Amino acid sequence: MTGRLAFFILNLAMFLLATSPLSAQEDLLAKARQHFKPIPAKAPIIKGNPASPEKIELGKMLFFDPRLSGSGLISCNTCHNLGMGGDDNLDRSIGHGWAKGPRNAPTVLNAVFNVAQFWDGRAPDLQTQAKGPVQAGVEMANTPQRVENTLKSIPEYVSRFQKSFPEDKNPVSFDNMARAIEVFEATLITPDSPFDQFLKGRQDALSQQEKSGLGSFMKLGCVTCHNGVNIGGDDYHIFGKLNPPDPRHLPPGDKGRGGVPGSGGEDYSFRSPTLRNVALTAPYLHTGSSTDLGEVVRVMAHAQLDKTPGDSEVKDIVAFLGSLTGRQPQVEYPRLPPSTSSTPLPLGMASR
């Protein structure tokens, strides 16, 4: 009997070990690693646009400088506020002359990991994206020539462009403005979120509810559109693939990538947004039509997956999404060089 009892106890112990919470957690981690990757600790290298300390600093100054706008009031940081999750927390951004933009401003944080920029992906990289809002009438309402005239009128900017682009015969240019902003924006990454720490093997980085939410997130199929380093941002998907969402979330007039000439994109397809720091970036969706992350989970589950998660499941998923908030970049507001008598005045301002 003693031998049989010992054999039974040994087998019971092995069974309990195999089915213990630790084993289940290890299984969850293994599944998560199949879909996600942690954000790297260092900013990625931009192909064709090497970074230097001088260029990054110049890019930071330009990112915060409202003189890139026609009004002299709007900077990149206005709509992509680095103290507010990299966006402006509005449904649609307010631009030149109090005009309201057509879509919700995506976060600039971790944007370097996106396959393309803007909701419809019309800009292939951050450099191209940086040029768009400066020229858009409902945003910064300026022109490349006027931007160049402004920058060339400020001696410190001329010197900084020369140091940042030493081999360029015409360093102060609209293109180089965008290149400088691009390398700065590439530094705006948010590593070390609780979820990143979990992916690296620290089991206690997530609470039990967050782990349950992660499991539901994968089981429901959310990972179809939200995966990889940025947990989204790497492909285009039709919004309303299985069920049409309410028109307030998907207005018929905005066809997304289908409205971009030459893209070959399908109507109502959009680049999936990154879910990194999503708890900081309400309101949500390209329309900015919801401030409730739980509501958005329900909308997307129904529209994309034909699923109806229960209340507790939604709460768990929202808790998991909260674990995606990473270490925010510490950016010191730069001292901007003063204008001169030859600096173009803001549009509509009386001449000197």
Q: Which residues are catalytic, by number? A: 139
What three-state secondary structure class fits 73?
coil
Tokens 């590439």, residue located: 186
Rg (CA), the chain: 24
- Burial category of 50 from C-beta neighbours within 10 Å (exposed 0-12, middle 13-18, buried 19 and up): exposed
Alpha carbon 193 to its chain's center: 15
Q: How many Å apart are CA 346 and CA 135, to the nearest integer?
A: 15
Phi, psi of 253 (to 5 degrees): -75, -20
Nearest Cα residue to 65 out of 51, 56, 81, 76: 76
Give the helix ranges, DSSP H, for 144-281: 144-152, 155-164, 174-185, 194-199, 208-220
Q: How many Å apart are CA 333 and CA 73, to the nearest integer?
A: 16
What three-state secondary structure class fits 290?
strand
DSSP letters, 192-205, are --HHHHHHTT-GGG
Q: How many Å apart are CA 106 and CA 132, to the nearest integer?
A: 14
Cis peptide before 283 (omega within 30 of 0): yes
